[in-house]
Amino acid sequence: MFISRVACVVLLISLSVHLSAAQATLLDCLNATNATVIDQSSPAYSTQRLVANQRINRTPAAIALPNSAQAVSEIVLCCRKFNVSAVPRSGGHSYEGYSVADNSVVVDMTQGFNFYEPQGDTTAWAGSGIRLGSLYYEAWKEGGEVFPGGTCPDVGLSGLLLGAKGGGGGNFGIVTRMHLQMYPQPNTTTLIYLEWPASEAVQVMQLWQAWAPTAPDAMTSNLQMAQYGVQMHGLYSGPMSEANALLQASGLLNVSGIQYKQYNEQPFIQSALDFGAETTGISTSSPINLMLGPNVTEWHNSWKAGSYDVPTALNSTVLNLMQQAVNQNSNGWIQFSAYGGQISRVPSTASAYAGRYSLYNIQYSIGWQNPSDTQPSMAWFAQLQQTLNPYMVNSAYVNYIDNSLQNWETAYYGDNLQRLQTVKQTWDPTNFWNNPQTIPLP
Ligand SMILES: Cc1cc2nc3c(=O)[nH]c(=O)nc-3n(C[C@H](O)[C@H](O)[C@H](O)COP(=O)(O)OP(=O)(O)OC[C@H]3O[C@@H](n4cnc5c(N)ncnc54)[C@H](O)[C@@H]3O)c2cc1C
């Protein structure tokens, strides 16, 4: 899905900015840069320190919002001078909140780097702080182009793309802008919602896993298993009649008890909106707000999630275990996202993400709002992970980053790990750029 070219990584080790000796403290130093600085005494601090996952509660020394690459460099130099971590942040959606750390300087790219600049060919430059919704909206406004990214409008382009491509994740430096390959808008799209009762989950899943990874490129879909039932969300780049014919052939429409079926044939931008509304729960009656994305502080949601790449179809024993797990907790769900298509045509060694060969990816997750649900929710997650581990291979999606994953280095990067470690050694030999799951030095 992530078919862009990441071009511009700014700022690694050699910085030419000279700091004045009069800057006695970190804050003096930051305030002398060309960035907005929010320190612990600023009224905005209590909201600016937050990330999307409310489970994360960290207190950085300051949040700096640069508006030029030069300012980014100056901030990093201050951090080096005062021996404080610099932590890049774009959309703030890291599952483990890795875009904020205690006592660090969060370098927030969302204000100075949220631009979209079409180049008059099939490419565009996008600032690293742009969110997916803004990118989709701006591209559509400019000329009807599309970019194949994620579904959630407030996810940051940087975190999403760079996790998959390998330059981001706070591993090597701070990316300031990216050169994107854009694509023509499809003439029409069909958005698909199907829902069956929970009792049919295993049968639906068996049919889906045999069909979705090999469906034509124009069809993408995911399936969600939860206590209330099993849902499929699909997007077809083409008319409803073609989408329906593909689904008929899959056998999915013949599963008994189908309780909801809707096809919406509509322009791509509307489908992107509707998918976003599904993920965020925001009404599509305010489409622009949705596309521009809510602030992370509007989320008020805690969650824990993990993932598995699945190279061969799962048998009914495993699927039954999954169904039993979601039946035990109404806040838990398991999502299956189809691979195949262009994802699998890119060799596993061409970018950081090694799991491209998979049939699909499983994300298992639980969300809650009440702090008293934290312990039982985390226990549900841990139990499910323990149950599923014996049936799964050691491969997972880094964008669903999980600090409880064992052997995470090889799970996320597979055979690419050594090459990434060489990059790390070359560009960041002191491991200045680090969080609990950044690429380790060799
Ligand atoms: C509601 C929701 C929906 C999602 N939907 C999808 C989906 O449909 N498809 C999918 O693949 N994923 C999806 N994800 C996962 C998402 O792609 C990852 O969480 C992603 O890392 C978030 O990026 P971000 O910029 O928002 O997060 P951030 O927390 O800002 O950043 C994530 C990581 O990247 C680093 N980073 C951020 N900016 C930069 C930069 N400029 N330079 C270098 N490093 C940087 C951070 O330090 C951090 O380690 C979803 C997540 C959520 C919460």
pLDDT at res. 72: 98
pLDDT at res. 122: 92
Provide the CATH number for the domain around residue 89. 3.30.465.10
pLDDT at res. 240: 97
pLDDT at res. 274: 83
Atom index in ligand 1 nearest the CA of residue 1 equals 11
pLDDT band at residue 275 under the 50/70/90 scheme: confident
Nearest CA to ligand 1 atom 21: 159
pLDDT tens digits along 18-39: 455 557 999 999 999 999 999 9
Residues 284 and 386 in one domain: yes
Atom index in ligand 1 nearest the CA of residue 89 equals 30
Which DSSP helix (H) or strand (E) runs through 56?
none
Residue 365 lies in a domain: yes
Burial class for 185, CB neighbours closer than 10 Å (0-12, 13-18, 19+):
middle
pLDDT at res. 431: 97
Nearest CA to ligand 1 atom 5: 152
Q: Among the three residues 122, 150, 185, which one is the final residue of a domain in this structure?
A: 185
Residues 222 and 332 in one domain: yes
Mean pLDDT, all residues of the chain: 89
Q: Among the three residues 127, 152, 185, which one is the final residue of a domain in this structure?
A: 185
150 in contact with ligand 1, CB cutoff 6 A: yes
The alpha helices in 182-298, defined as continuous H runs, are 201-211, 240-250, 268-280, 287-292
Domain residue limits at 36 = 1-185
Backbone angles phi, psi at 371, to 5 degrees: -55, -25
Number of domains in the chain: 2
Residues 161 and 253 in one domain: no
pLDDT band at residue 144 under the 50/70/90 scheme: confident
Residues 39 and 82 in one domain: yes
Residue 416 lies in a domain: no
Residues 55 and 100 in one domain: yes
Q: Among the three residues 185, 209, 241, which one is the final residue of a domain in this structure?
A: 185
What is the average per-residue pLDDT within 6-27? 53
337 in contact with ligand 1, CB cutoff 6 A: no
Residues 111 and 91 in one domain: yes
Residue 432 lies in a domain: no
> 97 pLDDT exceeds 90?
yes
Residues 315 and 383 in one domain: yes
Provide the CATH number for the domain around residue 206. 3.40.462.20
What is the average per-residue pLDDT within 6-25? 48
Q: How far is the CA of 94 from the centre of ligand 1 (A)?
A: 5
pLDDT band at residue 82 under the 50/70/90 scheme: very high
pTM: 0.93
Poorest-pLDDT segment among 107-116, 118-127, 283-292, 421-430: 283-292
pLDDT tens digits along 199-230: 999 999 999 999 999 999 999 999 999 999 99
Q: Is 345 left (phi over 0), alpha (psi -120 to 50) or beta?
A: alpha
Residue 244 lies in a domain: yes
Q: How far is the CA of 91 from the centre of ligand 1 (A)?
A: 6
Residues 170 and 53 in one domain: yes
Residues 170 and 241 in one domain: no
> 287 pLDDT exceeds 70?
no
Query: Could you tell me what percentage of the chain is helix, strand and coil, using 3-state DSSP and rounding each to the nearest 5?
Result: 35, 25, 40
Rounded distance, CA 135 to CA 54, Å?
25
Residue 125 lies in a domain: yes
By most ligand atoms within 8 Å of CB, the mutation choice from 54, 58, 90, 221 for ligand 1 is 90
pLDDT band at residue 167 under the 50/70/90 scheme: low
Q: How far is the CA of 197 from the centre of ligand 1 (A)?
A: 32
Residue 198 lies in a domain: yes
pLDDT at res. 149: 84
pLDDT at res. 272: 83
